[in-house]
């Protein structure tokens, strides 16, 4: 497994890894940034991901397995260890490692000591510019990205590999060697074929520290133990800036241009690029990718500054460390083969032509040079570099931040336009719809709407389904002084009980599973305007109590929140339930009932509004005409008559649907009885037979019919003239009030008039 992995789900596409990768070995694809290992040089920069989406693969389990396998396991400490384990002595660190189960502990600096002689030899023999190879990231950089310089690489192993070969050469191949340092590239290096089997595991200081903690080992409490192997002497400074040249005994003069010693990815890449281009031709280039040398490798102690770490290393170099060297390490034949080969590991990506770049730039709205902002938000230094990466399949177009912002702005504009269109359409469909009807009942309703509209009074609208309760609520809001503020409509049965409370009153973050943030409720959304609670008879007793609180105190309490919020909302409620029965049966709170029942509007069912059927039919036909863009002139009389005798269980909504459906079905310009659902033909037949039968009935029956009609018309007229006041109407008709009531009953002129009549009666004494 590769030493660094990506946790897809943590990647938030901030492109910080793209930005920090010196060789752009990151591919953004499928919604996350992944490492392209064939381009990666193991510098470890991507581990600084703010979301911790990149992590070093845990090798502690593997180490533990080796330690318990029975094979001898040797620990080798990289030269920089005193700058990490600075709170304990080197001898205590050795003791702690032995406590973990390591049989020997060596200083990796001895590896630097060993390769120094090899370097002197290679330097003496080489005539082309020689590039040092002790930094595995620099080796990878050349093998993967500048293969032209492979012949320039010193064919000498790194100090780490030298140590592995040295120890295994003496103790035998079955010995396991674990190298511990600040280096991440070393983890990649030991996986490469060229250095395989020299080192078994590479750990960072952090990993070994975790190991101590996991095993309850406190190195500071331990007595010092001596190192094994050989004392590296002054090779301990190898880790520092300038350290390798000192150890290799290559000491240039101040003005020397033949020897280059540099650190840091920018310098290293610049120098390698110039070498490859032949712009510089020094005799020796000593390079390390980490700025500050190995002591400042990616797994360093981040809390210490470079110069303090330098001081720690210098002190360590000056001190005498306890050593207990076994005689076999002193044998002159113990020095292993320190040479190594290299291979071309570059994989060339396709190069885009000018037109390709242009096309990609255009797709992110970059048409002129000034459109190329080179803002680097995508992680690439220039818009062109990003375009090349897009062409090569490394980057996404969507990585361009200015382009995305422009897109969001454009989308916002488009959505605003759509919203505006939909709002107008909704207004057309709902808000501006007139309340149609010329029967006395609906005229009375209209009068009530006109009276209550401009007041702040709570209104309770009652009536069967589809009778126009919502339409009435809209009309009331339109006539109110709040009509410039929202009318929020809530159907209490469409939202589940548990959600309705939070929908109405809002909730605080964490109030329940899924409450990931604070949310305002619909009462707050309606602040200053009106809220229409449809089907109020269906809300739970708990919600009834909360609602009462809103009505009494004018404040809402969000679910999970302690502090109430003031709201100024007018309430219109509607129900087709019998709330009085609810109160007596206990499922509707009495106090809420009285609070709602301030001003009642009762919408009559359509079957009691036969007189309005022709005008409603015409109204809905007009709507269907516009909606379907169909030339329909009218509805034939037979169809209207059938509609007048149909009981309309779904009321006006049903009628609207029937007319729209018939408009779709009709082939001519007139909606005929046959275009209506078949039940209307039956209804028509029944009512026609009734008329024919009546025509053939006796004179007496015919006379009764006419008298009854005249009686009904007269009663309606008296009511109209007295504004629905039954007491006055009875006086005008010169009949007792009780007789007038009986006639109302007989002709089906009920409830609405009676409600009004009752209140009017109280005002008007007999
Ligand atoms: N008097 C009327 N004039 C014109 N259209 C009407 C009238 N009454 C109702 N409508 C139309 O009938 C349909 C149903 O009306 P609305 O939704 O207001 O009924 P409702 O009583 O609130 O229904 P529900 O009880 O199912 O919620 C709507 O399209 C509305 O525009």
**pLDDT for 596-652, tens place per residue?**
999 999 999 999 999 999 999 999 999 999 888 888 889 999 999 999 999 999 999
- For the record, the structure tokens of 640 come out as 């209207």
Give the pLDDT mean for 684-689. 80
Please write the tens of the pLDDT for every residue from 64-119: 999 999 999 999 999 999 999 999 999 999 999 999 999 999 999 999 999 999 99
- 470 Cα: distance to centroid of ligand 1 (angstroms): 6
pLDDT at 762: 37
Rounded to the nearest 5 degrees, what angle is found at the Cα of 182, between the Cα atoms of 26 and 292?
Answer: 85
The end-to-end CA distance of the chain, in Å, is 100
- 601 Cα: distance to centroid of ligand 1 (angstroms): 14
One domain for residues 577 and 646: no
- 742 Cα: distance to centroid of ligand 1 (angstroms): 31
Please write the tens of the pLDDT for every residue from 431-440: 567 899 989 9
Give the pLDDT mean for 220-242. 95
Domain boundary pick from 577, 604, 631: 604
Higher per-residue pLDDT: 111 or 406: 111
Q: Is the pLDDT of residue 759 over 70?
A: no
Atom of ligand 1 nearest to the CA of 472: 18
- The whole-angstrom distance between residue 329's C-alpha and the CA centroid of its chain comes to 61
Residues shown for the chain: 766
* pLDDT confidence tier of residue 685, bands split at 50, 70 and 90: confident
* pLDDT confidence tier of residue 255, bands split at 50, 70 and 90: confident
Q: Is the pLDDT of residue 757 over 50?
A: no
DSSP string computed for 493-511: TTS-HHHHHHHHH-B-TTS
Residue nearest to atom 8 of ligand 1 (CA): 468
One domain for residues 692 and 591: no
To test the pocket of ligand 1, the residue of 434, 435, 470 to mutate (highest count of ligand atoms within 8 Å of its CB) is: 470
- 654 Cα: distance to centroid of ligand 1 (angstroms): 9
Task: Judge whether 355 lies within some domain.
Answer: no
- For the record, the structure tokens of 21 come out as 């990768």
Q: Tokens 């002709």 appear where?
A: 747
One domain for residues 556 and 639: no
- 746 Cα: distance to centroid of ligand 1 (angstroms): 28
Task: Judge whether 414 lies within some domain.
Answer: no
pLDDT at 668: 85
Q: Is the pLDDT of residue 120 over 80?
A: yes
Provide the mean pLDDT of the chain.
89
216 and 271 Cβ atoms separated by less than 8 Å: no
Query: Nearest CA to 226 among 302, 151, 315, 325?
Result: 325
Q: Is the pLDDT of residue 407 over 50?
A: yes
To test the pocket of ligand 1, the residue of 428, 471, 473, 490 to mutate (highest count of ligand atoms within 8 Å of its CB) is: 471
Please write the tens of the pLDDT for every residue from 27-54: 998 889 999 999 999 999 999 999 999 9
Atom of ligand 1 nearest to the CA of 467: 21
Question: 3-class SS at 460?
Answer: strand
Question: What is d(CA 655, CA 646) in angstroms, rounded to the nearest whole number?
Answer: 10
Atom of ligand 1 nearest to the CA of 656: 12
Range of the domain at 694: 609-762
To test the pocket of ligand 1, the residue of 468, 489, 575 to mutate (highest count of ligand atoms within 8 Å of its CB) is: 468
pLDDT at 346: 95
- For the record, the structure tokens of 17 come out as 């890894």
Task: Judge whether 375 lies within some domain.
Answer: no
Question: What is d(CA 54, CA 10) in angstroms, rounded to the nearest whole number?
Answer: 9
Please write the tens of the pLDDT for every residue from 5-14: 999 999 999 9
Cβ atoms < 10 Å from Cβ of 638: 16
Query: Nearest CA to 267 among 249, 289, 245?
Result: 289
Query: 540: Cβ–Cβ under 8 A, 6 or more apart, which residues?
Result: 497
Residue nearest to atom 23 of ligand 1 (CA): 466
Please write the tens of the pLDDT for every residue from 341-375: 999 999 989 999 999 999 999 999 899 999 999 99
To test the pocket of ligand 1, the residue of 427, 449, 460, 466 to mutate (highest count of ligand atoms within 8 Å of its CB) is: 466
pLDDT at 748: 73
Q: Which residues line ligand 1 (CB under 6 A)?
A: 433, 435-437, 463, 465-471, 534, 576, 619, 652-653, 656
**What CATH number does residue 720 fall under?**
1.10.8.60
**What CATH number does residue 486 fall under?**
3.40.50.300
Rounded to the nearest 5 degrees, what angle is found at the Cα of 632, between the Cα atoms of 629 and 635?
Answer: 140
Task: Judge whether 422 lies within some domain.
Answer: no
DSSP 559: B
- For the record, the structure tokens of 251 come out as 């000491």
Give the pLDDT mean for 542-560. 89
* Count of structural domains, the chain: 3
pLDDT at 694: 56
Task: Judge whether 417 lies within some domain.
Answer: no
Question: 3-class SS at 681?
Answer: helix
Domain boundary pick from 604, 639, 674: 604
- 616 Cα: distance to centroid of ligand 1 (angstroms): 12
Residue nearest to atom 16 of ligand 1 (CA): 468
Q: Is the pLDDT of residue 583 over 80?
A: yes
One domain for residues 186 and 287: yes
pLDDT at 732: 86
One domain for residues 694 and 546: no
476 and 531 Cβ atoms separated by less than 8 Å: no
- 491 Cα: distance to centroid of ligand 1 (angstroms): 14
pLDDT at 751: 35
Rounded to the nearest 5 degrees, what angle is found at the Cα of 495, between the Cα atoms of 492 and 500?
Answer: 75
- 469 Cα: distance to centroid of ligand 1 (angstroms): 6
Please write the tens of the pLDDT for every residue from 153-194: 999 999 999 999 999 999 999 999 999 999 999 999 999 887
DSSP 430: I
Question: What is d(CA 622, CA 136) in angstroms, rounded to the nearest whole number?
Answer: 82
Q: Is the pLDDT of residue 514 over 70?
A: no
One domain for residues 729 and 754: yes
Check residue 491 and give left, alpha or beta (phi > 0: left; psi -120 to 50: alpha): beta
One domain for residues 234 and 132: yes
Q: Is the pLDDT of residue 285 over 90?
A: yes
Question: What is d(CA 446, CA 370) in angstroms, rounded to the nearest whole number?
Answer: 64
Residue 551 to residues 390, 458, 567, Cα–Cα distance (Å): 60, 9, 10
One domain for residues 571 and 613: no
- 467 Cα: distance to centroid of ligand 1 (angstroms): 5
Atom of ligand 1 nearest to the CA of 612: 1
Residue nearest to atom 15 of ligand 1 (CA): 468
One domain for residues 668 and 593: no
To test the pocket of ligand 1, the residue of 653, 656, 658 to mutate (highest count of ligand atoms within 8 Å of its CB) is: 653
- H or E stretch including 634? strand 634-635
Percent over 70 (pLDDT), the chain: 93
Higher per-residue pLDDT: 559 or 144: 144
One domain for residues 645 and 629: yes
pLDDT at 236: 96
- 604 Cα: distance to centroid of ligand 1 (angstroms): 12
Task: Judge whether 656 lies within some domain.
Answer: yes
Q: Is the pLDDT of residue 21 over 80?
A: yes
Task: Judge whether 27 lies within some domain.
Answer: no
Cβ atoms < 10 Å from Cβ of 212: 17
One domain for residues 538 and 637: no
One domain for residues 552 and 649: no
Give the pLDDT mean for 141-150. 97
Please write the tens of the pLDDT for every residue from 477-503: 999 999 888 888 888 887 776 678 888
Domain boundary pick from 279, 307, 334: 334
154 and 36 Cβ atoms separated by less than 8 Å: no
- 330 Cα: distance to centroid of ligand 1 (angstroms): 102
- For the record, the structure tokens of 15 come out as 């492109």
Task: Judge whether 626 lies within some domain.
Answer: yes
- 442 Cα: distance to centroid of ligand 1 (angstroms): 13
Higher per-residue pLDDT: 75 or 668: 75
For strand 201-204 and strand 176-181, is the pairing parallel, antiparallel, or unpaired? parallel
282 and 56 Cβ atoms separated by less than 8 Å: no
Q: Is the pLDDT of residue 538 over 50?
A: yes
pLDDT at 424: 58
């Amino acid at each position: 497994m590769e030493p660094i992995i990506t946790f897809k789900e943590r990647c938030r596409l901030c492109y910080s890894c793209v930005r920090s990768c010196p060789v752009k070995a990151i591919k953004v694809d499928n919604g996350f940034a992944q490492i392209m290992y064939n381009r990666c040089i193991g510098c470890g920069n991507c581990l600084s991901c703010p979301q911790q989406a990149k992590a070093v693969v845990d090798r502690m389990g593997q180490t533990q397995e080796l330690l318990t396998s029975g094979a001898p396991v040797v620990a080798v400490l990289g030269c920089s260890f005193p700058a990490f384990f600075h709170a304990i002595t080197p001898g205590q660190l050795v003791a702690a490692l032995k406590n973990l189960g390591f049989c020997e502990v060596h200083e990796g600096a001895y590896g630097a000591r060993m390769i120094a002689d090899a370097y002197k030899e290679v330097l003496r023999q080489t005539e082309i510019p020689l590039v040092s190879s002790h930094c595995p990231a620099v080796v990878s950089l050349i093998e993967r990205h500048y293969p032209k310089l492979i012949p320039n690489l010193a064919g000498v192993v790194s100090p780490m590999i030298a140590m592995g070969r040295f120890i295994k050469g003496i103790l035998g191949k079955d010995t396991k060697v674990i190298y511990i340092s600040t280096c991440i590239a070393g983890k990649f290096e030991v996986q490469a074929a060229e250095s395989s089997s020299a080192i078994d595991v590479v750990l960072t200081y952090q990993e070994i520290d975790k190991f101590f903690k996991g095993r309850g080992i406190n190195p500071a409490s331990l007595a010092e133990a001596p190192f094994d192997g050989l004392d590296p002497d002054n090779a301990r400074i190898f880790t520092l800036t300038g350290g390798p040249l000192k150890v290799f005994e290559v000491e240039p003069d101040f003005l020397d241009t033949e020897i280059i010693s540099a650190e840091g990815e920018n310098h290293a890449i610049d120098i390698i690029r110039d070498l490859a281009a032949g712009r510089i031709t020094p005799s020796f280039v000593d390079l390390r990718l980490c700025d500050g040398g190995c002591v400042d490798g990616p797994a360093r102690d981040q809390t210490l500054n470079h110069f303090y770490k330098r001081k720690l290393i210098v002190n360590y170099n000056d001190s005498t460390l306890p050593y207990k060297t076994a005689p076999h390490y002193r044998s002159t034949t113990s020095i292993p083969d320190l040479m190594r080969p290299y291979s071309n590991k570059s994989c060339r990506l396709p190069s885009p032509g000018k037109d390709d770049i242009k096309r990609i730039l255009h797709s992110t709205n970059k048409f002129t040079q000034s459109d190329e902002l080179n803002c680097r938000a995508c992680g690439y230094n220039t818009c062109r570099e990003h375009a090349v990466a897009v062409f090569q399949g490394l980057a996404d177009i969507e990585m361009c931040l200015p382009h995305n912002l422009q897109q969001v702005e454009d989308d916002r504009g488009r959505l605003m336009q759509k919203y505006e269109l939909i709002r107008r359409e909704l207004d057309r469909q709902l808000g501006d719809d007139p309340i149609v009807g010329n029967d006395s009942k609906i005229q009375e309703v209209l009068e009530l709407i006109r009276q209550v509209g401009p007041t702040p009074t709570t209104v309770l609208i009652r009536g069967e389904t589809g009778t126009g309760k919502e339409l009435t609520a809209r009309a009331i809001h339109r006539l109110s002084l709040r009509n410039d503020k929202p009318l929020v409509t809530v159907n209490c049965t469409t939202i589940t009980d548990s959600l309705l409370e939070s929908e109405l009153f809002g909730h605080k973050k964490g109030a329940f599973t899924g409450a990931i943030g604070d949310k305002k409720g619909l009462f707050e959304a309606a602040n200053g305007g009106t809220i229409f609670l449809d089907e109020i008879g269906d809300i739970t007793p708990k919600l009834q109590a909360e609602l009462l609180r809103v009505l009494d105190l004018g404040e809402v309490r969000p679910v999970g929140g302690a502090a109430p919020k003031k709201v100024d909302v007018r309430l219109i409620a509607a129900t087709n339930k019998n709330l009085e029965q609810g109160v007596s049966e206990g499922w509707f709170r009495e106090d809420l009932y009285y609070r709602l029942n301030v001003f009642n509007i009762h919408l009559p069912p359509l079957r009691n509004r036969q007189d309005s059927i022709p005008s409603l039919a015409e109204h809905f036909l007009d709507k269907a005409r516009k909606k379907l863009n169909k030339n329909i002139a009218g509805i034939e009389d037979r169809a209207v008559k059938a509609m007048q005798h149909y009981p309309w269980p779904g009321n006006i909504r049903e009628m609207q649907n029937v007319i729209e459906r018939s408009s779709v079905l009709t082939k001519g310009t007139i909606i005929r009885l046959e275009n209506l659902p078949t039940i209307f033909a039956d209804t028509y037949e029944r009512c026609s037979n009734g008329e024919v039968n009546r025509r053939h009935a006796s004179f007496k029956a015919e006379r009764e019919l006419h008298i009854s009609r005249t009686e009904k018309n007269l009663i309606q007229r008296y009511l109209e003239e007295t504004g629905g006041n039954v007491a006055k109407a009875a006086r005008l008709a010169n009949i007792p009030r009780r007789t007038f009531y009986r006639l109302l009953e007989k002709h089906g002129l009920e409830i609405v008039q009676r409600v009004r009549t009752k209140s009017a009666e109280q005002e008007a004494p007999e």
